[in-house]
Amino acid sequence: MIQFQFYKNHIRGTAQYQKITLARGFLCNVKPSLLTVLTNNSGCTGRPVYLSTKSLKHIHDRHVYDKGNFSEFIVILQNLTRIIKFPDEVRMDARSKRGDFMFVKNVAAQPYFVSIQISPVGEMDIVSSSATGESYLKNFTLLWSWGSANSPS
């Protein structure tokens, strides 16, 4: 999986804010059933989701250096694909944030989100990821949930 290759080859052992080699690669596809929700709420044009070393370095530094929580970073690394392919919810990210959508999944009874930005050409790029709380998530519009298997109307 590309997130482990990027971590091993570009990020492991780097200092906070250290410059890294920029690379971008395919991580996974979103489910076809989610594509309709994404397309209706953005300029999304396809199912592929991409990860860059820049975004992974941001996630790494935020957890390892800012929060001092390497174990949370490992949980994200191990579950990044699962959160995107099998989310419990998809929410609209805040306009003030860089991402357009938040894919949310409970991992070991803890909600985690992956923020995804739609590029100008309609591709999906991971921006960030973190553990979060239910109260934080309530600030974002729910577009789709697994419980209803469709968008709330």
- The DSSP code sequence of 69-131 is -HHHHHHHHHHHHHHHHS-SEEEEPPTTSS-SEEEEEEETTEEEEEEEEE-TTS-EEEEEEEE
For the ranges 5-9, 73-77, 142-146, the lowest mean pLDDT is seen at 142-146
Provide the pLDDT confidence category of residue 148 given band limits of 50, 70 and 90. Answer: low
| DSSP assignment string, 12-63 | TTPPTT------EEEEEE--HHHHHHHHHTS----SEEEEEHHHHHHHHHII
Provide the pLDDT confidence category of residue 153 given band limits of 50, 70 and 90. Answer: very low
* Model pLDDT for residues 29-83, shown as the tens digit of each residue: 999 989 989 998 888 989 999 999 999 999 999 999 999 999 999 999 999 999 9
Are 27 and 51 spatial neighbours (Cβ–Cβ below 8 Å)?
Answer: yes
Reported pTM: 0.91
